[in-house]
Structures are given as structure tokens and as C-alpha cells.
């Protein structure tokens, strides 16, 4: 049985439509600028550069509530957010908050000219993951417990349109579900669907 009330290390991974020659070194400067400007809600603390780690997380923006990251794992630019602190009244609300934070930050990133490439979110794909192998092991029981929560959020995001929800092929051992929807819906529309 999954202890949903204790599970708060939840994340969302977003992908980009294009795969430009993205220089992650520029993301370090961009994220430092976000800290100085208070660009995102919450307490932004520092930037961690893991570009030297093969298959690593890329560049992270460390915040008190969670971490934001831009990576090129699998040679495909992706942006993720995962929550590190309890928040929200239940697991559905915590995953909604994580999704909202990921979308808000990724849309900000798409507007950053310093990255040297124009990024555009591919809002037809989203990966939801639990960053807690103890409370949410990558198992059938976890899938049975958490899939309905994710499917309800996905139904809200895509206004009830049909979506494929499958185990993620790139979850690195974490429980994760990969959502695919066609045709594409604008990322701003997804964000509006889960706004407060």
C-alpha cells in the first residue's frame, strides 16, 4: 500500500519540440539571473552545474521547495521540476503544484535569448515521476495507486481529450508515467487549466 499522504517528492518532466544546439553553459547564467530577479515563486538558492556528468542532470536551479533542471539526457533537451518539501493538501494537489511550477519555469526558459537557441515546449508529451524509491517503488502496486491520480490531472490538463499514459522508458529506475497527446495543445493552455 502506497502512503500517498507521505509522498511529496513528485516531479514533472517536459520536453522541447526542437533539438537545437543548446549550450547548457548559458543556462548557468540564466538561472543565476532568475535568482537575482526573483523570477520564480519561492526561495531560489543556487545553481548546480553537472554538465561534466555523463547522463547527469545537466544544470540545476536549486530552490527551497524543489529543484528545476535543464538537461540533454538522451540528446533531447528536457526541463524538469521535482518538489522536495511537503506542500498541498493531498497528492493530487502536490502533483498539480509540481506541474504548474514546471510549466511556469519552462515557459520562462523558452523566452530566454541568452540560451543561444529558441526553445519551444512540446506540450504533447509530459512525464510524471515520483522521486522517492522507498515510498513509491517502480512497481505494479505503485502504478495501481498513483495512475488514477495522474490520469485525473492529465484529464484536467487536456480538457478530457484522450491521452496515452504509459510507463516511461527513461525514468532511471523511478516510478514514472509518460503521457502523450495529439494534436499538440499550447503550453500556456495547459498552464491555465491547472492554475489556482
Three-class secondary structure of residue 140 per DSSP: helix
Q: 508529451: which residue's cell?
A: 125
What's the CA gap between 194 and 186, in Å, rounded? 13
CB 178 within 8 A of CB 169: yes
Cα atoms in the 13 Å half-sphere on the side-chain side of 143:
10
Q: Residues 6 or more apart from 25 whose CB is under 8 A from it? A: 51
Count of domains observed in the chain? 1
What's the CA gap between 126 and 140, in Å, rounded? 20
Angle among Cα 86, 89, 95 to the nearest 5 degrees reads 70
- Domain of residue 62 covers 4-193
What's the CA gap between 196 and 191, in Å, rounded? 10
Give pLDDT tens digits for 127-152: 999 999 899 999 899 999 999 999 99
- pLDDT by residue for the chain (196 residues), tens digit each? 667 778 999 999 999 887 656 777 889 999 999 999 999 988 999 999 988 887 778 899 999 999 999 987 766 788 999 999 887 788 999 999 999 999 999 999 988 888 766 788 888 899 999 999 899 999 899 999 999 999 999 999 998 888 999 987 665 688 999 999 877 788 888 989 998 7
Q: Is the pTM of this model over 0.85?
A: yes
Amino acid at each position: 500500500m502506497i502512503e500517498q499522504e507521505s509522498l511529496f517528492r513528485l516531479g514533472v518532466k517536459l520536453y522541447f519540440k526542437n533539438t537545437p544546439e543548446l549550450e547548457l553553459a548559458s543556462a548557468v547564467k540564466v538561472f543565476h539571473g532568475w535568482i537575482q530577479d526573483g523570477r520564480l515563486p519561492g526561495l531560489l538558492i543556487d545553481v548546480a552545474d553537472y554538465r561534466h556528468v555523463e547522463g547527469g542532470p545537466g544544470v540545476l536551479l536549486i530552490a527551497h521547495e524543489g529543484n528545476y533542471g535543464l538537461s540533454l539526457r538522451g540528446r533531447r533537451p528536457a526541463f524538469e521540476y521535482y518538489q522536495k518539501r511537503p506542500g498541498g493538501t493531498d497528492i493530487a494537489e502536490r502533483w498539480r503544484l509540481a506541474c504548474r511550477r514546471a510549466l511556469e519555469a519552462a515557459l520562462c526558459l523558452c523566452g530566454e535569448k541568452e540560451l543561444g537557441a529558441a526553445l519551444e515546449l512540446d506540450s504533447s508529451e509530459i512525464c510524471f515521476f515520483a522521486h522517492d524509491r522507498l515510498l513509491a517503488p517502480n512497481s505494479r502496486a505503485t502504478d495501481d495507486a498513483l495512475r488514477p491520480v495522474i490520469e485525473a490531472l492529465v484529464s484536467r490538463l487536456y480538457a478530457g481529450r484522450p491521452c496515452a499514459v504509459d510507463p516511461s522508458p527513461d525514468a532511471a529506475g523511478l516510478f514514472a508515467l509518460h503521457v502523450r497527446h495529439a494534436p499538440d495543445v499550447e503550453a500556456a493552455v495547459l498552464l491555465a487549466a491547472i492554475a489556482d
